[in-house]
Amino acid sequence: MRAVISDNSATAITKRAHFHSTVSPTMPSRRELANAIRALSMDAVEAAKSGHPGMPMGMADIAEVLWNDFLAHNPANPKWPARDRFVLSNGHGSMLLYSLLHLTGYDFPIEQLKRFRQLHSKTAGHPEASEFAAIETTTGPLGQGLANAVGFALAEKVMAARFNQPPGPDLERLDIVDNYTYVFVGDGCLMEGISHEVASLAGTLHLNKLVAVYDDNGISIDGEVHGWFTDDTKKRFEAYGWNVIAGVDGHDADAVKAALQQARQSADKPTLICAKTIIGFGAPNKQGTEATHGSPLGKDEVAAARVQLGWNYPPFVVPDEIYAGWNAKAKGAAREAAWNDTFAKYKTAHPELAAEFERRVKGDLPADFHAHADAFIRKLQADGPVVASRKASQMTLDAYGPLLPELIGGSADLAPSNLTIWKGSKDVNSNDAKANYVHYGVREFGMTAISNGLALYGGFIPYDATFLVFSDYARNAVRMSALIPSRAIHVYTHDSIGLGEDGPTHQPIEHLASLRLIPNNHVWRPCDAVESAVAWKAAIERREGPDCLIFSRQNLPHQLRSEEQIGLIELGGYVLSDPPSAKFDLILIATGSEVGLAMDAMRVLQQQGIGARVVSMPCAEVFDRQPLAYREGVLPGWCRKRVAVEAGVTAYWRKYVGLDGLVIGIDRFGASAPAEALFNYFGFTVDEVVDAAKRLQ
C-alpha cells in the first residue's frame, strides 16, 4: 500500500523522490549529503539481512539540516557538557544515528556499520547508550525516547537556573548551561500512551528548549496508519501547550531549516515540528509503503535506489567530498573552545558554583557525603525510632538532601503518602535556583522515563515515587533504567497487604518478585529506619544502575544491632540475630515488615529450646553479588532448615530455602480490611512462623 500524504506538498515531495542528482567534485548538495545516510542505512540493513531502512531514508534530509546547521556537538568529545542532546525516540531507525556518528567524525568507523546488528558491535538493532558515548540514551520501546528527551530538557532548565549568572560589571552574561534537546519521533511514539503523559507535562513546565520532529510518513508495520491513528496531532499538542509547526515538507531542506529556526525562537513552549516525509525515500518500488519499514529492501531494490538517488558508489563507500561536507570536527572543537573560555571566566567569578558544576557533571558525590551519611545512620541506630519506613525515608531525605544539590525528586501525585517532599524541596516551576522537586501528576510511566532522562543528562541523581502496586505502570521504564543503565532511584511505598483498607487493587503481591527479576536492578526493602537510611545511601552511591526502594505504610519496630552489623547492612543480607549460644538449628530469612515478625518468632522458639538464626535480607541482588565465603557465613550450606517470610509471592524465595525449606508468603490477591486483620487472616503471625519452624525439626 502507498502512503497517503494529504497536504499540498505531496506532489512536490513525490517529484523530489525521483530526482537524480550528480555529485559535485567540490561542494555536495544537501540532498547528496542526505543520500549518504540513505545509502549507508540500506547497505547496513541489507548486509545484516535485518533492520529498518525506511525511517533513516525518510528522515535523512531532516537529519542533515539539523546536524549540519543547528546541533552543537563535538565529535572529539562526545560528553562535552554544553552539547545539544539528540534523541532517536523511533529507535528502530538506528542506522540514521549510526550513519550520522560515522559521517560527522566520531570514532565510529565504517567497520561498525558493516557489523550492524552483529554480536559485540556498537551498532545494535536499537541505539544503546552503553555501547558508545555519543548515544545519549537507549531507545526502542516507542515513546520512551520522547520521555527521556523531556527529562533532558527539564534537566537543562533546572541546571540553567542553578548555575547561569546575571551580567557582572563588564555586562557579560556567563551562561554555562544553554543547550537544546532535539528528539525524532514517529507515529508509533505518538500512539503510545507515554507520549501523552510526558508531552502534557513538558507543556506545563514550559520546556521551550525541547524540539520534537514528528516523522509524519503515514506508515507503520501494519500499513497505512489512517485505519488506526486518526488523531489531529497539531491540535493535540497545541492543547498540551506546545508550539506546533505543521505541514513542513521533510524533504525540503529550506523548509526544515526555517521550521528549526522558528522552533528555537520559542520563549516559553516546547515545539513539535510535523514533517511530512516518504518512508523509504529513494527506493523506487517500495518507498511510501510498509515494505520499507522493518525489512531489508532486497538486492534489486537497493540497486534501483542507487540509480534513483544518483549514488554511484559500491556498498559502504562514501566519497571524500561527502565526508568533507559532513565533518563536524573543526566546528565542534571551535564551539567547545568558546564554551571553555566562558567557563574559565565563570570559574574566576564564581569558583564555588564552578566547582559544584564540575563535580556534578563528573557524577561524583560531595567529599563528605559518606561520612555524614554514616553518622546519620549511627544516630538512627542509637535513637531507635519506631516509624513506618516511608517516614524513615523522609527523615533520610531531610538528612541527606542538604548535602546533595544534585538530588531531584518527585511523586506521581502521592507526595503526602510517599513522603517524598523533604524540608528543602522546591518546585521546579518556581524558577528557584535551588529547585529540586517535580510534581509529576498521575503519570507513573512518564515520570519514570523522565527520571532516566534527568540521570542521563548529567549533574542529577533523580528519584521518583508512587505506590508499589503502580510500579506496574512504570515497569518498562524501570527495565530501561537497568538496561541503559541510568542512575535513577525509584521509590515505592505501601509495600504489601499492610496497605490495608484500599483493598486488593492497591495491595502489591507479585511486585517485589517482578522488580527483582529485572537484571541490574537493585530492590531494597528495609525493615526499620536504620536499614532505610542505608538503602538510600547505597542507592545514591551506586552509579551503574537503578535502585528500587520499597517502603511500608505501617510502623516498623526498631532492631538492635552492633557496630559491625550496621556495616553489614550494605552487603544486602546479614545475620541480625543468633541464639546466645551461637548454636542454631534453623534459619529465618525475612525482609521489611516481616523481619520484626521473624524476630518475635525467634524469641518464642528460643523459649521452646529451638535455636534460630534471623537473617535480614534488605537487598537480595546485592547479597547475591557478595563473595561465596560471606554468603556461606550468613546462610551456611549445612543448615537446610530454612523458613523465608515475606508478604509477597513465595516462588522467589525457593532459591534460598531450597526444597527442604518453607516459605510463608501470599500467592493470591489481598482483601479490603485493616492491616492487622489482613496479616492475621493471611497467616503472617508469630504462631504461623513458629509452626513452620517446628515442621522442619
CB 302 within 8 A of CB 139: no
CB 411 within 8 A of CB 402: no
Cell of 198: 510526558
CB 643 within 8 A of CB 686: no
Residue at grid coordinates 525540503 = 252
Contact residues for 297 (Cβ-Cβ < 8 A; gap 6+): 42, 45, 46, 53, 280, 283, 286, 305
Give 174's DSSP letter. B
Backbone torsion region of residue 49, taken as left when φ is above 0, otherwise alpha when ψ lies between -120 and 50, otherwise beta? left
The neighbour count for residue 211, using CB atoms within 10 Å, is 27
Whether 238 is catalytic is: no
Cell of 234: 497539531
Q: Max alpha carbon distance in the chain (Å)? A: 93
| DSSP string for residues in 375-409 | HHHHHHHHH---EEHHHHHHHHHHHHGGG-TTEEE
Write phi, then psi, for 457 (nearest 5 degrees).
-60, -40
Instruction: State how far the Cα of 603 lies from the Cα of 376, in Å rounded to an integer.
Output: 29
Give 661's DSSP letter. S
Instruction: State how far the Cα of 334 lies from the Cα of 543, in Å rounded to an integer.
Output: 31
The neighbour count for residue 164, using CB atoms within 10 Å, is 16
Residue at grid coordinates 480490611 = 673
Instruction: State how far the Cα of 194 lies from the Cα of 609, in Å rounded to an integer.
Output: 57
Given the DSSP bridges, would you call strands 223-224 and 219-220 parallel, antiparallel or unpaired?
Answer: antiparallel
What's the one-letter identity of residue 244? V
| DSSP string for residues in 612-636 | EEEEE-S-HHHHHTS-HHHHHHHS-
Instruction: State how far the Cα of 337 lies from the Cα of 539, in Å rounded to an integer.
Output: 36
Cis peptide before 485 (omega within 30 of 0): yes
Contact residues for 602 (Cβ-Cβ < 8 A; gap 6+): 577, 588, 612, 614
The neighbour count for residue 651, using CB atoms within 10 Å, is 12
Cell of 340: 571553555
Instruction: Choose the catalytic residue: 197, 444, 646, 688.
Output: 444
The neighbour count for residue 310, using CB atoms within 10 Å, is 15
Cell of 506: 492497591
Cell of 560: 538492635
Cell of 551: 517502603
Instruction: State how far the Cα of 512 lies from the Cα of 205, in Å rounded to an integer.
Output: 33
What's the one-letter identity of residue 338? A
Catalytic residue positions, numbered = 444
